[in-house]
Amino acid sequence: MATALTDKHFHLMQHALGLTRKKKPTRNYFYCDGNDPDWSYLVDNGFATRNPGWTEGKAYFRLTFEGAKSIYSKPMSKKYFEDLP
């Protein structure tokens, strides 16, 4: 069974890649509360990873390559993805 993503999940993932301002991915991070339920869902389903933030309770979330490909419809190489800040 496919994992259901909401419009909010898509928006958060697009924001993490910088797609809310540019037409192609320019970054790969989103900083917020480390227990954010939407990001936790994305982590639990393999679309993102969680890394410690600068302050207690915060986290940097990064999309996985599979997560990025699921929302970016154009071809993207693994190298381009891995080089995103």
Burial of residue 81 (CB within 10 Å: 0-12, 13-18, 19+) is: middle
**SS3 for 32?**
strand
CATH class of 7-82: mainly alpha
pLDDT of 2 reads: 61
Domain locations in the chain? Answer: 7-82
pLDDT tens profile 63-84: 999 999 999 999 999 999 999 9
Contact by Cβ (8 Å): 59, 33: yes
Q: Residue holding tokens 């993932």?
A: 13
Q: Give how far Cα 83 sits from Cα of 12, 40, 69, 71, 75, Å.
A: 20, 24, 15, 18, 15
Confidence of residue 6 (pLDDT cuts 50, 70, 90): very high
pLDDT tens profile 8-53: 999 999 999 999 999 999 999 999 999 999 999 999 999 999 999 9
**Lookup: tokens for 10:** 């898509």
